Amino acid sequence: MRLALLFLTALALPFAASGDARAQPSTTIVVNFGAGGSADRMARLLAPVMSELLSTPVIVKNTTGAAGVIGAAEVARARPDGTTLLLSTTGPMAIQPHIRSDLPYRMADFVPLCQIADAPVMMMAAPTGPVRDAASLVAQARAARGGFTYGSAGQGSIPHIVMVEMARRANVEMTHVPFRGSAEAVISLLRGDVMVYSDLPGPLRANNLHPVGVMAAERTAEFPEVPTLREQGFDLVHSIWAGLFAPAGTPIPVLDRLQAACEYGLQRPPVIEGFRRLDTPVVFRDPAAFYAFWQAELAKFEVIVRESGIRPGD
């Protein structure tokens, strides 16, 4: 009898182990901007292929508000066990620390896992309308005397910062209209509520928007027909990057596993093709390279924010 029980127990062990694996908690990627925007779409491309390597579900959750600050704060407070990650773009992780004295997190609250993208900022206008290029934008802004509006993904986001720089260099006044994410800003642009919007180039072709100019040092392979802002007399060169972060204190073996899943995901054809459709090519950096890049971005935007004179509420 005892031998029979031992035999049955041994048979049951693999199934029990398999059940435990299936019962492992899912991983949640918090996107700190709204559904339908470029960051959200990148996360939803990456999640299912990361799940393949992690052997657990990877869920995307949108936590919006305060130009990405609320979502970042949620992850900063999360248990450091690898079940909650942050997919963020530049603003909350490199610009907000220089604008908000009451930021509800510190950069030390995060560990970079991997950079996933980096693309030049595209300035966009409605398909029909008076803004066709930088010269017409400046003319319209001067004529409007403060009534010229531009959209952004929130105060302290890249779409906000680049337009503050544009207004300063052109010596014109523009009115900032913040939204909870790029999807809302694009809808407002199409309605005519705002005149221009600057962001990752993803919304351009998807919404038949008009390209005013790309903020790159040279014309891009994705949009060779679109002139740079530099060509049009404004030396504005900016990109928006995106990456995955984990809460500080996450164990090294867990970080290694998550980083491997991220790298694996970025090599999969569905992700590469999906990013290409967003006109945002995959740009991978491992944790060490991403950390160095992130620190350089923090230093760069400290100078830009100081020179621009941006204050909370601008």
Write the DSSP string, 271-291.
HHHHHHHTT--EEEE-HHHHH
DSSP 77-115: TS-SSSSEEEEEEHIIIIIGGGT-TT-SS-GGGEEEEEE
- Of 180, 215, 250, the one marking the end of a domain is 215
In a domain, 227, yes or no: no
57-104 pLDDT, tens digit per residue, is 999 999 999 989 999 999 999 999 999 999 999 999 999 999 988 999
In a domain, 194, yes or no: yes
What is the C-alpha to C-alpha distance for residues 115 and 282, in angstroms, rounded to an integer? 9
Paired with 58 in beta bridges are 27
Number of structural domains found in the chain: 2
In a domain, 71, yes or no: yes
Same-domain check for residues 110 and 124: no
Sign, CA torsion 23/25/27/28: positive
Instruction: Please give the pLDDT value at position 307.
Output: 85
End-to-end CA distance of the chain: 79
DSSP E strand boundaries for 153-271: 175-178, 196-199, 210-215, 239-247
Kindly tell me if the per-residue pLDDT of 108 is higher than 50.
Answer: yes
In a domain, 231, yes or no: no
Same-domain check for residues 260 and 247: yes
SS3 62: strand
Confidence at 23, pLDDT banded by 50, 70, 90: low
Domain limits for position 135 = 120-215
Distance of alpha carbon 283 from the chain centroid: 13
